[in-house]
Structure 1
């Protein structure tokens, strides 16, 4: 069951005039923002250690291939695995947290294990899959098999 937000009760103007209520005026707004994120962002739990997260992905179908573009800023190429399992493309890996020398006051950037599974809509040529990582975007080109490519038939 969802946790309820704390409520402050007061007597109208008396409550609003209390100076101790607004020592940190933005703290309460940050708490509300975090709670709203939990409600509306399906990946809200991904900032917690040990919880896998799913990267943002665009999937495009061209005449000859399916192209997956995966946002993975800060992830090194050796920390990513791309596999085809049956009719699914699996992209897994880990974004390692950097060591902090100071006190970490707020953590919003995602770290830890991530995974993406996408269904391939048709037959593919798994031997010719290409993956490239540039500027924080992993591009995976999955060529269609000859049988699944569409072709125009001339009517006689």
Structure 2
């Protein structure tokens, strides 16, 4: 990678701007002066996901702002978690001339292969402030077991499962 300095970087930025202007002109020529709604909605929507785990759960947080909760489908089938939804373009009574559209619209599907430690019967999902949170509980046998080691002359080991009395 080359680091541009001084006048060379200004020339490079100017050349890049020229290329962008040519692309913009080609786009306008292809679609005319008005951009059809189909061109606005054909982007691939892939909401970002954070996945983390603690000793009891695997948790997914998926950004779904502007998507109605009724339009989100969460399923587990064959050890795969699938989340589907759709962000629909807003239609208003009055006509608007868009100058720029950066928000993505359309359908999405995200699939995640679940580890064998997940209990598919213990799944919850809730949506709050545009974030879908899916909690996948781990199976009891998948949770860590602490082994109590006695100090001294005794040679016995005793297993202690979290949440159970010793």
Could you state the TM-score of these two structures normalised by the residue count of structure 1? Answer: 0.66
Gaps of 5+ in 1: 1-15, 17-24, 36-46
**Paired residues for 1:32-71 under 5 Å:** 49-71=41-63
**SS of 1:132's equivalent?**
strand
Q: Which has the higher strand share?
A: 2
**SS of 1:93's equivalent?**
strand
The residue number in structure 1 matching 2:107 is 113
State which of 16, 20, 36 in structure 2 corresponds to 1:31: 20
| Structure possessing the higher radius of gyration over alpha carbons | 2
Indicate how the Cα distance of structure 1 residues 48 and 85 shifts in structure 2: closer, same or farther if over 3 A, else same. Answer: farther
Gaps of 5+ in 2: 1-10, 25-38, 150-156, 158-166
Q: Provide the rounded CA distance (Å) in 1 between the counterparts of 2:120 and 2:144.
A: 18
1:124 aligns with 2:113: no
The residue number in structure 1 matching 2:75 is 83
**SS of 2:147's equivalent?**
coil
1:93 aligns with 2:85: yes
Cα deviation code 1:6-25 (max 9, x no counterpart): xxxxxxxxxx9xxxxxxxx9
Indicate how the Cα distance of structure 1 residues 129 and 104 shifts in structure 2: closer, same or farther if over 3 A, else same. Answer: same
Indicate how the Cα distance of structure 1 residues 147 and 30 shifts in structure 2: closer, same or farther if over 3 A, else same. Answer: farther
Q: Provide the rounded CA distance (Å) in 2 between the counterparts of 1:96 and 1:128.
A: 31
Contact persistence 2:46–2:110 (CA under 8 A): yes
Could you state the TM-score of these two structures normalised by the residue count of structure 2? Answer: 0.62
**Paired residues for 1:3-18 under 5 Å:** none
Contact persistence 2:41–2:89 (CA under 8 A): no
Backbone CA RMSD of aligned residues: 2.8
Matched positions, count: 119
